[in-house]
A = this chain, B = another copy of it.
Amino acid sequence: MRQHELTRADVLTAALPYIQKYHGKTVVVKYGGNAMTSPELKQAVMTDIVLLSLVGVNIVLVHGGGPEITALSSRLGLETKFIDGMRYTDKATVEVAQMVLCGKTNKDLVCSIEMSGGRALGLSGLDGGMIKAKKLEGKADYGYVGEIVKVDPTPVSDALASGYIPVISTVGMDEHGEVYNINADTAVARIASALKVENIIMLTDVKGIMRDQNDESSLIVDASIKQVEELIAEGVVVGGMLPKVRCLCDAVLGGAKKAVIIDGRVPHAILIEMLSDDGAGTLIHE
C-alpha cells in the first residue's frame, strides 16, 4: 500500500511542470466522435475537463452532435437529401439540429460536468449573439447550413470569468433572425482564434495525421502549417481529415498558439496530451 501511495505521489509530481505550463491559460476542446458516444470514454473526458479546470486551466468545450440530429430527424420522418455529396438542411432539419444540439447534447454535457464536480454553463452561438452567421455560399444551395461572419467571444469570457466551464453548441443567427447549423470544426477554429487560446484539442477517432492510414507507426507527431500544406499537397491528408486540418491551421494563423489532433478512443486522451511531455496525436503549430 505504501508502494502504491508513493507511485501516486510520483505521478502527481510528474504532472507539475505541465500544470505550470497551462495554469491560467485558455484551452478549447472540440468534443465528438467515439469519445462522445461511448459512456466510459465520455466519463473520462468529463473527469479530465473538471480536473484541468480545477488546476487553473480555462477549459471551453465545443461539441457537435451529428448522429443525434440524424437519429431524431429519421424518427420524425424527415427526408435526407444530398447535394454535391453534402447534406441539404431544410427548415425542419435545422430546427431539429438546434433542438438536439442546444437542448439535448449541450445540457447532457452540462449535467455530466456538474455530476463530475465542475460548474458548467451551456451556451450556444445564439446566446449573447455569439455567432453571427450567414447562408453558406457554395456551388449549390445547401439550405440552412451557415458560415460564420463574426464570433463575439464575450459570452464565453464572461462565463470563464464567473468560474464556469462553458459548453458551446454551434448554431448561429443571421441579421434576419434565421438560425443556421454551423460545422463544429469551423466554429471551434473561429472561437479559438477569437479567444487567442493556448491550445485547441480536437478529439477524433484516429491517432492523428498518419503518412499511411493503415500504419499507426507512421503518425506525424508535429507539423508546422507549412509542413501541413505540403502533406495536403502530397495527398497525405485526405477525406474527413482534410477540413478538420484546414480549420486548425486557420485557427493557428488566427491567433491560437497551437492545435492538436488526438485520439478520442483512448481514455483520458486530453490529460495525456496536456500533462505529458510527448503529448499525443499530431501537433500543428505556426
Identical chains in the assembly? 6
Quick check: B20 and A11 within 8 Å, CB to CB?
A: no
Whether A259 is near chain B, meaning CB under 8 Å from some CB there, is no
Collect the chain B residues with CB atoms within 8 Å of residue A16's CB. Answer: 47, 50-51, 54, 116-117
Q: Please measure, in the bound complex, the distance between the C-alpha atom of A33 and the C-alpha atom of B243, giving whole angstroms.
A: 45
A184 at the interface (CB under 8 A from B): no
B127 near A121 (CB under 8 angstroms)? yes
How far is A196 from B155 in the complex, measured between Cα atoms in Å? 25
Closest approach, in angstroms, between the C-beta of A146 and any C-beta of chain B? 13
Contact B13 A48 (CB under 8 A): yes
Number of contact residues on A: which range applies?
Answer: 35 or more
By beta carbon, the residue of chain B nearest A76 is B75
Interface of A is mostly: helix
Interface contact A104-B95, CB-CB below 8 Å = yes
Partner of A162, one of B107, B115, B129, B158: B158
Of residues 101 through 135 on chain A, the ones whose CB sits less than 8 Å from some CB of chain B are: 101-104, 106-107, 110-112, 114-117, 119-124, 126-129
Q: Are A104 and B107 closer than 8 Å at their CB atoms?
A: no
How far is it, in angstroms, between the C-alpha of A138 and the C-alpha of B75 when the chains are bound?
A: 33
Residues of A near any B CB (own CB < 8 A)? 2, 5-17, 19-20, 23, 44, 47-48, 50-51, 54-56, 75-76, 95, 98-104, 106-107, 110-112, 114-117, 119-124, 126-129, 155, 158, 162, 164, 171, 173, 177, 179, 266-268, 271-272, 275-276, 280
